[in-house]
Amino acid sequence: MSTADEGGLAGLDRLLRNTFEWYTVSKKEFKDAIRSKGLWLLGLIFTTAFIAPVALALYFDIGVGQQGQGLGMQLLLSQVYLNMVTLLLPIVAIFLGFAAISKERTSGSLKLLLSLPHSRKDVIIGKVLGRCAVLGVPLVASLAITAVFLTASRLTFKPELFGLFSFFTVVFALVFVAIVVSISGAFKKSLWSGAANFIVYFYFTFLWNAGANGVGNILSNELGVTGAIRWHVVLLLKLVNPNQAYKTLVNSMLGSGEAPALSARYGMFRQGEEASRTICADVLNGAPQAQEGVFGTIITCAPGSGSLPFYYSDPAVVVFMLAWIGIAASVSYYTFNLADL
């Protein structure tokens, strides 16, 4: 690295340190992680998790036949990586960040940190951004190594497809780290923080959709709210779940046809014929089409005369995911600011 580059980086570091009080906290978080073996272990976990399916399925013909190899990237991303990321990545984020603040409260080092010119808001922001970097760096590195393996495999590597998948995956990871660290700031003990984080993870992963559908049933059965309004509420509730938002974004990216985002949003429902027609036509601006299946009539959703509402588009769903960073940090700051350290 040249002297000019070093001077530029030093100048940028000095500018950030003088401008943002939280920068010092986040920088310390990241430097501490680099000196530990945890960051390198994370990199090994991610790299192994992403490369193993490529090696087993494509280099040794395990699990994927010739037809599956022809489907290429879509098959690998939809049948392997999508479920692996939504199940594994939040757990890694929890182990990485559940004690980020609560451990320092227990040890008393948080009082020392706050005795320096750092506010509680600076600590929350710095911890969130620092831990996001700790998870993001090895994740990005492992995705880059995976891309190299894919180009050398028998798959037809599609860089734009893998690039979008990588972007959505990194956003999902950072969102969950922010949630985990923010929960840590709301509890005095790491044990309570860990328990609360696993409850949130379990609810997001396995119970949120049932809760959204339950709200729809209450609107219909108790309040008399039916038709498109009911399904608008249910869909919005599903989309604000970071797990479901990530899944529908990847499904939209992998989809084919004229309106993959429309198909991905419609695929979030499993309803009867009448409800399916309402969701397709009145919520998503699509054109319902009836097909006779083995178990009765199946309603598919084709592009209609109108376009998919912007608030259900892929960019809007990304915004829904990113909003969790601000929501989690705000709630954590409120509870952390009231706490007696």
**pLDDT of 114:** 66
Candidates 245, 253, 284, 278; CA nearest to 266 is 284
**pLDDT of 249:** 94
* 247: Cβ contacts below 8 Å, ≥ 6 apart: 82, 86
* 216: Cβ contacts below 8 Å, ≥ 6 apart: 230, 231, 233, 234
Radius of gyration of the chain (CA): 23
153 or 248: which leads in pLDDT: 248
**pLDDT of 70:** 47
What's the rounded Cα separation, in Å, for the pair 13 and 145? 28
Candidates 177, 194, 202, 312; CA nearest to 249 is 312
Tens of pLDDT, residues 110-148: 667 666 666 777 888 888 888 888 888 888 988 998 888
Domain extents for the chain?
23-207+322-338, 210-317
Candidates 48, 82, 169, 185; CA nearest to 130 is 185
Which band of pLDDT confidence, cut at 50, 70 and 90, is reported for residue 331? confident
Largest CA distance in the chain: 72
CB 185 within 8 A of CB 332: yes
Give the CA dihedral 250, 252, 253, 259, nearest 10 degrees: 180
**Averaged over 213-235, what is the pLDDT?**
93
70 or 214: which leads in pLDDT: 214
**pLDDT of 3:** 53
Tens of pLDDT, residues 159-197: 888 999 999 999 999 999 989 988 888 888 888 989 999
**pLDDT of 63:** 47
The gap between the terminal CA atoms of the chain, to the nearest Å, is 44
Tens of pLDDT, residues 93-114: 898 888 877 777 777 776 676 6
**pLDDT of 313:** 94
60 or 175: which leads in pLDDT: 175
- Among residues of the chain, what percentage have pLDDT more than 90? 34
CB 219 within 8 A of CB 236: no
Q: How many C-beta neighbours within 10 Å does residue 106 have?
A: 14
Tens of pLDDT, residues 269-320: 988 888 999 999 999 999 999 887 666 678 899 998 889 999 999 999 999 9
